[in-house]
Each structure stands twice: as structure tokens, then as C-alpha cells.
Structure 1
Amino acid sequence: MADALQDLARLPGVEDGVVAARDACTQLRWHQALRRRIPEAAAESRVRGAAASALLEGAEPAGSRGSTDLVRDLVRGAVAWDARADDPVWRVLAGVVRATAATETVTAASLRAPAQVLAALHTAATGELLPMDQVGRPRREGEECREWAELGPAPGPAEVQERLGLVHELLATVPAGRTPVLLVAAVAHAEIVSARPFVLGNGVVARAVERVVLRAGGLDPTGVAVPEVGHADRAGTDYRGALGAYAEGSADGVRLWLLHCAEAVERAAAEGTRIADAVLAGRLDGLR
């Protein structure tokens, strides 16, 4: 697996992108605000990450004063989780928030049991959206996934198991620290979306997995960068296009996705710096 990732790193421009992303995360790591206030900044990163991930799912509740403010209120208990339980958009948003919040407790050691991590994240994302017998497990024969239709028909259960095996193998390399973290995060993310192992919630789980790998793998050890915002820039059109290119299976398509992810991590670190600046200034609630 390490050799395969090294081959990907040799694709034109990828190594430079990885270095630029690593430098951006290193600069964020040493921000003055993160000397003493990492938990506060990391919590806001999860708030902003959940809002961006929900936007990518098309779950932006109408009439709210802003998804980020709404997510922040949900997390701190100012709004009840079941406040709009009859609204399907609200239920998706709540699932995204729960899945993003669940990433906080996933450690590098947890990734030694990657199937359990994926099951936990999927349960958080879809526990209120699917019948309980479909929550936390891959699709079975006869079960369809209608997400990401632009990528073509979702693979059948046999291919799903094969590709999930690849994702499990990738994630299990993170604790050993012998693989490029950004490439592990990028490939795991794209494989989950393109294989669509779950009936629902594949994109939410994929973005949560990326957040976990970047932090647990040490690229963003404080967890303050916001990778979801990196993907959601320009209304997510680059994100969906790059995933479509990856799903085609060509070397150029994979390269395009990896370059997108490297640039997204740079933007994620820039968003993390905005958060750290706001924490330092004591104006976190006013951050937009």
C-alpha cells in the first residue's frame, strides 16, 4: 500500500501540492492562539466543517440566520436537535453535525479497527435517516444507493466489499506513520464516495474520514484546519468535478483529485487561521 501511494505522489504536481499543504498546516499549528486554546479553536473548526459538509449535501435550512450559526447553536444546546424533526433537510443537517462531532473521539489507535470507525461515523450521520437495520453497515444484495448519480451506477456489493477492503487497509496504515497522510485521506475519501458502500450518507462519511485522517495522522494535529470548507469553496463545483475525474479511473483523473485535495487542505489551513485569529481576538461568535 505504501508503494502504491508513493507512485501516486510521483504524478506530476502532486508532490509539490503535498508539500504546500504540509507547510500551510505547519504554519497553522504554530499560531499564537493554539498555544493554550486548541480545544476552543478545534470545536469551532468542527462547527464550520459541519456547516460546509451540510452545504455539499444540499442541506442548508431555509429561513435560518446562517448555517454556521445554526450548527453552533445545535452543538452548544441553544437549539434542540429535534426542533424541526419533520423537515428532511433539517434531519440531514443534524446527521452531518453528529458525524462531524464524532470525529473528535477518533484517534490514530482507533484506525487500527477501521471498519468500526466507518460504522460509527455512518451511524452518527444516518441514525435518524435510515431504518436501523441499514445503519452502520455496507449495502447488501438488493440494496441501492442513489447518491452521486453523476458518477454512474453504484457498484454492487461484491465490488463494494473489495473497495472497502482497500479503504480499511489505507486507514490502518495511519497509526504506523509510514504513508503520506494527505494521500491516505484523499484516496479514502474518493473511494468511499465512488464505491458508495452505504445506502445513504457516503459523502458525509467520506468527509468525516478525511478530517479524522488529517488530524490523527499528524498533518493537522490540532484539528483546527477545516477540510470541508476547502472542498466547499466555489459552491463545491471543483469538488464534485474532481471526484468525477477520480471515478473515471484514469491516471489524469486521479491526479486531478489529488491536486484538488492538496489545494483544499491549503484552504482548510487558511480557514483554520481565520478561526485562530478570531479566538485570539475573542470574537469567535462573529466569525463568518
Structure 2
Amino acid sequence: MPSATADPLLPLIDLPGVADACTRAREDVDRLLRHRVLRKQSAAVSGESLLRAARASAELENHGYQLEAIRAGQIDDPVVTGCLRVSGELGRITEVWEKAPLQAIAALHVQAASGSLHRDDLGRPVGGPEVSVRLQQLTDTLRAPRSRDVPGVVVAAIVHGELLALKPFAGLNGVVARGAARVALISTGVDPKALAAPEVGHVSEQRDYEQSIAAYRTGSADGVAQWIVHCAGALSAGAVEGLAICEAVLRG
């Protein structure tokens, strides 16, 4: 039987800054998960967090709008609508993810791109054999024996980075990548109720987001480290956003 030490993600923990950044992010999310309002009103916090995450994800696609306008249903923009659908389907897609990651990624694209792309392009990778090979490699990585020493933050960052770098679909790959990263955080138990909003962290540090994914695309150890550290920082920021939501819900 394969040993957990065969985890292909295990070497990433030793990259500069990765372990510390992941530890901080997990501590910040755990602090959020302990908030007292979640004993009775976790659904309200999760719903608001997912709304803010969807707004932020749309902004990263250059479709930014005021949160209150989106909350009021005043925005008729298919990219925003797609981001909202992705947020709303995270729980269901997580169930698919744990059995068939590629099917889950395709389902995320259908949710993200319906209304923006032709229906023949929905959920169908483009780009030929190279894309198929790399998607299969990502699936193999996700299904490999997982070491307990590999934080879920790293898993989510690699999923996010690979999908952004590969751009397997005709459009809205960023929305899919961020949605898949959220699914990975749920699936690995880092943020099981989707209470943090890392997309908000990516928006607040958008230049670093763009520079870090460019570094990741080089494939260098330093580039991968830079990306994971950025993703961990965005998760920490998303946990702070979640705490702010908790306090707002508590105040009524």
C-alpha cells in the first residue's frame, strides 16, 4: 500500500515561507471558526461570505460592482451571475470533487460561464492533448496519498495555480480556478462551511495576485513558493473578512 510520504505536494512545504504562511492562514481560519455567532447563525455568515466572495471574483474578471447593488439583484451581468452560481454550488460540487475532480472542475465551468459563452464551450476543455495531460496530472496529484504534513492551504493553492496557468476553458478560467480552490479548502477541512472569503484577499492585493501567478507559471521553486504564500495570505485576509461578517451578524 502506498505510503503517505509519496505525496507529490510534500516537498512544497520546505519552500521558503510556505510553512509559516500556511500555519498563519490556518490559525486565522480556526479563529473564525470559533466565533460564538456560528453556534446558531453559521448559515447567515456563510451566505454573506459567499456573496462577498462572488463579488470579489467578478471584480478580478474586470466586472466589479458595488456589493449592495449585487445583494439587491440590480446587476444584470452574466459574469457576476456566474460567480454567484459558483458560490451557491460549492457544497454540491464538493461532493463531486471528492470522487471525480475533473467532473467537478467541468461543473464549475458550467456554473461560471453559462450566459457568457456558447453552450458548446461549457465544461469542455480546449487546447488539445497538452491540456488533457496536465488536467490528468492535476487529478493524479489530488488522488495521490495525502501526507498529514501537507496543509489543505497548499492543496488549494496548487489547484488554483494550475487552473489559472493552464486556462483549460474558452473563458472564465479565473472564476473556475477560484471556485476550485474554495472546493479544495472545504474538502480538506480547512474551511468546511465556506466561512472565509479568500477572493476578497486576492482583490485587496490584486497586483500581488497577478505577479504571483506569473511567478508560478515559470515553474521555478521560488515562483511556486511566492504563489502559495500569496494564497495563504489571501486566505488569512478572507478569514478576517469572515470575522467582520460574524460581528455584523452578532450586532443584527
* Same fold by TM-score greater than 0.5: yes
Contact kept? 1:108, 1:217, Cα under 8 Å: no
Q: Which residue of 2 aligns with 1:49?
A: 53
Task: Provide the alpha-carbon RMSD of the alignment.
Answer: 1.9
Specify the SS of the correspondent of 2:98: helix
Q: Which residue of 2 aligns with 1:286?
A: none
Cα deviation for residue 57 of structure 1 reads 0.4
2:69 partner amino acid: L
Q: Which residue of 2 aligns with 1:146?
A: none
Matched, 1:281 2:241: no
Cα deviation for residue 177 of structure 1 reads 7.9
Cα deviation for residue 216 of structure 1 reads 2.2
Q: Which residue of 2 aligns with 1:205?
A: 176
* 1:5-54 deviation line (CA, Å, top 9, x unaligned): 11001112111111111111111110011111111100101100001001
Specify the SS of the correspondent of 2:7: helix
Query: Which of 160, 164, 170 in structure 2 is aligned with 1:193?
Result: 164
Q: Residues 121 and 251 of structure 1: is their aligned pair in 2 closer, same or farther, counting only changes over 3 Å? A: same
Cα deviation for residue 169 of structure 1 reads 2.8
1:158 partner amino acid: P
2:68 partner amino acid: D
* 1:154-212 deviation line (CA, Å, top 9, x unaligned): xx4222112111222344469x7854211110001010011010010100000001111
Q: Which residue of 1 aligns with 2:100?
A: 113
Q: Residues 173 and 105 of structure 1: is their aligned pair in 2 closer, same or farther, counting only changes over 3 Å? A: farther
Separation in structure 2 between the aligned mates of residue 206 and residue 108 of structure 1, nearest angstrom: 17
Contact kept? 2:186, 2:194, Cα under 8 Å: yes
Cα deviation for residue 109 of structure 1 reads 5.9
The runs of 5 or more residues in structure 1 that have no matched partner are 85-89, 140-155, 283-288
Specify the SS of the correspondent of 1:4: coil
Aligned residues: 247
Q: Which residue of 1 aligns with 2:82?
A: 95
Cα deviation for residue 256 of structure 1 reads 0.5
Query: Which of 4, 24, 27 in structure 2 is aligned with 1:23?
Result: 27
Contact kept? 1:114, 1:168, Cα under 8 Å: yes
Cα deviation for residue 73 of structure 1 reads 2.5
Contact kept? 1:91, 1:128, Cα under 8 Å: yes
Matches within 5 A, 1:209-288: 209-234=180-205, 236-282=206-252
Query: Which of 140, 146, 154 in structure 2 is aligned with 1:169?
Result: 140
Separation in structure 2 between the aligned mates of residue 123 and residue 190 of structure 1, nearest angstrom: 20
Matches within 5 A, 1:117-132: 117-132=104-119
2:171 partner amino acid: L
TM-score (norm 2): 0.91
* 1:225-254 deviation line (CA, Å, top 9, x unaligned): 0010111114x1110110000001111111
Specify the SS of the correspondent of 2:38: helix
Separation in structure 2 between the aligned mates of residue 241 and residue 228 of structure 1, nearest angstrom: 16
Greater Cα offset, 116-125 or 213-222 = 213-222
Separation in structure 1 between the aligned mates of residue 144 and residue 108 of structure 2, nearest angstrom: 19
Cα deviation for residue 2 of structure 1 reads 5.2
Identity of aligned residues (%): 40
Query: Which of 100, 121, 132 in structure 2 is aligned with 1:134?
Result: 121
The runs of 5 or more residues in structure 2 that have no matched partner are none
